[in-house]
Structure 1
């Protein structure tokens, strides 16, 4: 990879894919000027803090994605650091996966997973769209791209209605199906502002969420996703793609 977007925001950056995104993006030939890496507890995010120590572009910031009242403060802090420039690229990565089937899915489980995996990305996008719009307006690039202004929602093939052959996993599947619809809506509603919106399936990855039996390493998944992001255009807008760039069924 050669040139990263100028200003990037990643949620859930303290571990798993979020942390791997940070590690790989700072190694671009031209890294971002700002990489805002958010997590619930920056003080205990030792791996992320290590990366930040050796890469001054990384700004570790506190964000609990379910604390919606804190979103505006975060936006104002980021906006002041950007000094009149926009935010080019957002990855809504923070999510939870509570495994439960038809019999043991409770209202509390459904609500908890839905709040983190759907309501939080919607609310975050609403909060930060002014900074994405600003980036698009200030860009001299033609068309749509991640260098200009783009929003990526971390989804899953488990949210695909068409691909579901095994059932189960009610809260997670339902939340990712909803996030896919959110992404499609955003791709339509933000198009006039030249802001891309894409949902991505990272593959079945060896993380705390994916488990150690998963076939794809975090390194491989994130390398693939960054390749996909760097080639996003109007044709990609409003699609669900995997880390190899394959368009998946809704």
Structure 2
């Protein structure tokens, strides 16, 4: 049994991650901005002693520290940085706004890496030492054949770069660091035309996380295990 910490668990992929990890018999610390507004999380917590739900506003340094303090030095085996945002859908050339871009970069790149940094003492106590960053194929430069989506594309590209550096820097401590593409998923962010459901995406990503070997650290994989070009 391992202990997972998962961010962005109020809906979609994050909520499904909680359900499936609990179903595998692991302990879970689930975080989101306002867990009191997520009935499904409350129901899961009442039914599962292995689930702890804690508030986290990822963009807030104070909130990140409150989370770390609440863990009270407990070990974390697997950290899944899932929380993120797309930004305004009209953020294309000619309508880009600095404040929008800064917010997406903070939530999608800077805050997850700083949270990981803050949780390193907990992760070092764990036996698994696995870090997963939920990225997107839209962060792949070689796959960009349609342009647009400046905020989300650049944020996920930057997240991939940060994950690669973490993989190198933490390799001496036997950490495994992965960037994961969840697929085009039927969620609020993915929209109604997406190709797969959350169950398929999450089951695949958890398999990738669980089966990853040290040689896989620092690479970019799809939910089905296929390698993705940077």
TM-score range, shorter chain: over 0.9
Does the alignment pair 1:175 with 2:155? yes
The C-alpha deviation readout for 1:207-231, integer Å capped at 9, x for no partner, is 0100111011001100111111110
Unaligned runs of 5+ in 1: 140-147
Which residue pairs with 1:40 in the alignment?
33
Check if 1:60 corresponds to 2:53.
Answer: yes
How far is 1:108 from its partner? 1.0
**Aligned counterparts of 1:7 and 1:169: Cα–Cα separation in 2:** 35
Q: Helix, strand or coil: the match of 1:102?
A: coil
Residue 85 (structure 2) pairs with residue 96 (structure 1): yes
Cα contact 1:132–1:195 (8 A) shared by 2 = no
State the alpha-carbon separation in 2 of the partners of residues 39 and 69 from structure 1. Answer: 14
Deviations 1:43-86 (A, max 9, x none): 10111111111111110100000011222221121135x3xxx2
TM-score, L = length of structure 1: 0.89
Which of 9, 26, 32 pairs up with 2:5?
Answer: 9
Supply the distance in 2 between the matched residues of 1:202 and 1:249 (Cα, whole angstroms). 15
Could you say which residue in structure 1 is the equivalent of 2:139? 159
Q: 2:109 aligns with which of 104, 107, 118?
A: 118
2:19 aligned to 20, 23, 30, which one?
23
Q: Answer yes or no: is 1:188 the counterpart of 2:163.
A: no
Pair 1:78 & 2:74 matched: no
Higher mean displacement: 11-20 or 63-72 = 63-72
Q: What is the CA deviation profile of residues 92-114 of structure 1, one whole-angstrom value per residue up to 9, with x for unaligned ones?
A: 00000122211111101110110
Structure 2 unaligned residues grouped into runs of 5+: none
Q: Residues of 2 paired with 1:116 and 1:73: CA distance?
A: 17
TM-score of the aligned structures, taking structure 2 as reference length: 0.96
Instruction: For 1:183 and 1:68, locate their aligned partners in 2 and report how far apart those are by CA, in whole Å.
Output: 20
Structure 1 runs (4+) deviating above 4 angstroms are: none
Give 1:142's aligned residue. Answer: none
Q: Deviations over 1:148-177 (max 9, x none)?
A: 111111100000011110000000000000
Partner of 2:191: 211
